[in-house]
Amino acid sequence: MGSVRRLVIVGDGPLAQEMARTIDRHPEWLCQILGFLCPAGNALNQSFSESDGKRVSLQTVGIADLLESHRVDEIILTVPEPGHPEILDLASMCRSAGIAVSLVPQPYSLYLSRPELVDLDGLPLLLWEGATGATSNPPWKRSLDLILTIGLLPLAAVLLAPAALVLKLRKGTGFRRELRCGQHGKLFWMYRLNSDHDATELPADEFLMQRSSLTELPQLINVLRGEMSLVGPRPEGPDRTRHYSDWHRQRLGAMPGMTGLAQVHGLRDRNSSEDKTRYDLQYILHRSLFQDISLLLQTLWTIAARLFQPQRRPPRVAQPTLASRADVTFEEVLSGAHRSQSSSD
């Protein structure tokens, strides 16, 4: 096994948090995030806490020495102005000290494209070429949806009938519909069993319905009607989509699905659009017949694993991690108050 690379992320914005989450999701990369180095305005003047509690002000050269003393292997620049003189000085000093310097481009809006590094006579040029057909439905997709859905309907009917009867006797109706935004923002009614996903206390049978995703099976009707696909970004309601940025809105270019890459990684309706969009855009960019079949099989495996995994009720509230906190700075590394722990979604 190789040695673990010790990283520091320069920046404190959404891109810095996105980079931290990405590294945390891949422990196989053998990378440890020591912390964030947060520029104050456009400069890198910072105050750090020494181990004895004494606070000292460090200029760029001091920060470079500090990184070297803590055996940092690489800094990752995620700042809006990487060409600022302070940032350039820091990068130059880090390279001289043997610390690698990486740069993450800023434009989130270009996520649905494949970057390519072009060398123009020694001048690096990062080229974004738009993904062809990223917002259209592949010709094989509708055929796969119809074949599998028609095959699943008899089994779904057997499972849904008793569940819907129980809910009808308890609540007056076995099914419910919710307004969702589909492809290109077109509104449609999405069907599910009448069980409240936001409820804190559920009867054992309803808890099992949700745990097994049985509550989502009525969406096979949406698939037959051409409003949804078996695999794709999970549709969200108008209350969320109206707040989408241009980056989030790209997920509306694909047909919404009953399951998707985000769901396989454990994200549900209650998770933020930010987290799900990252996976959804990866799916849209690389979707294929093989990937759809693979995600369907992974979904079945995820549901089966969930059923056999003990569930604590009420769910334990997770403690903030490095990747989820916006206020973590490199000074916490010096005081030993924080260490990132690699985790997967």
Q: Do residue 95 and residue 198 come from a single domain?
A: no
Measure the CA angle with vertex 128, ends 288 and 22; round to 5°. 65
For residue 329, is it within any domain? yes
For residue 120, is it within any domain? no
For residue 129, is it within any domain? no
Query: How many domains does the chain divide into?
Result: 2
Q: Do residue 176 and residue 246 come from a single domain?
A: yes
Q: Do residue 161 and residue 16 come from a single domain?
A: no
pTM above 0.95, yes or no: no
pLDDT of res. 136: 77
pLDDT of res. 238: 95
pLDDT of res. 142: 95
pLDDT tens over the chain, length 345 residues: 568 999 988 887 778 888 888 888 888 899 998 888 876 554 444 433 333 444 334 455 577 777 888 888 999 998 888 888 878 888 888 888 889 999 988 776 566 777 778 888 888 887 776 665 566 789 899 999 999 999 999 999 999 999 999 999 999 999 999 999 999 999 999 999 999 988 888 899 999 999 999 999 999 999 999 999 999 999 999 999 999 988 888 899 999 999 999 999 888 887 788 778 888 988 998 889 999 999 999 999 989 988 887 665 544 434 444 333 434 444 443 333 334 334 444
Token duo for residue 179: 């307004």
For residue 131, is it within any domain? no
CB atoms within 10 A of CB 175: 16
What is the DSSP secondary-structure string of 242-284? TT--HHHHGGGGS--EEE-HHHHTT--TTS-HHHHHHHHHHHH
For residue 342, is it within any domain? no
How far is the C-alpha of 42 from the C-alpha of 189, rounded, in Å?
A: 48
| Residue 237 lies in domain | 139-308
Q: Do residue 92 and residue 153 come from a single domain?
A: no
In this structure, what are the phi and psi dihedrals at residue 173, rounded to the nearest 5 degrees? -150, 145
Q: From its phi and psi, is residue 226 left (phi > 0), alpha (psi between -120 and 50) or beta?
A: left
Q: Are 180 and 252 in contact (CB under 8 A)?
A: no
Query: For tokens 């409003």, what's the residue?
Result: 227
Contacts by residues 61-67 (CB-CB < 8 Å, ≥ 24 positions apart):
61/89, 61/93, 63/37, 63/90, 64/90, 64/93, 64/94, 64/97, 64/99, 66/334, 67/8, 67/94, 67/97, 67/99
Amino acid at 184: H
Q: Do residue 102 and residue 155 come from a single domain?
A: no
For residue 281, is it within any domain? yes
Q: Are 313 and 291 in contact (CB under 8 A)?
A: no
Task: Judge if the upstream peptide bond of residue 314 is cis by omega within 30 degrees of 0.
Answer: yes
Q: Do residue 92 and residue 214 come from a single domain?
A: no
For residue 289, is it within any domain? yes
Token duo for residue 40: 């104050």
Q: Are 130 and 110 in contact (CB under 8 A)?
A: no
CB atoms within 10 A of CB 96: 10
Element (H, E) at 291: helix 289-308
Q: Do residue 160 and residue 200 come from a single domain?
A: yes
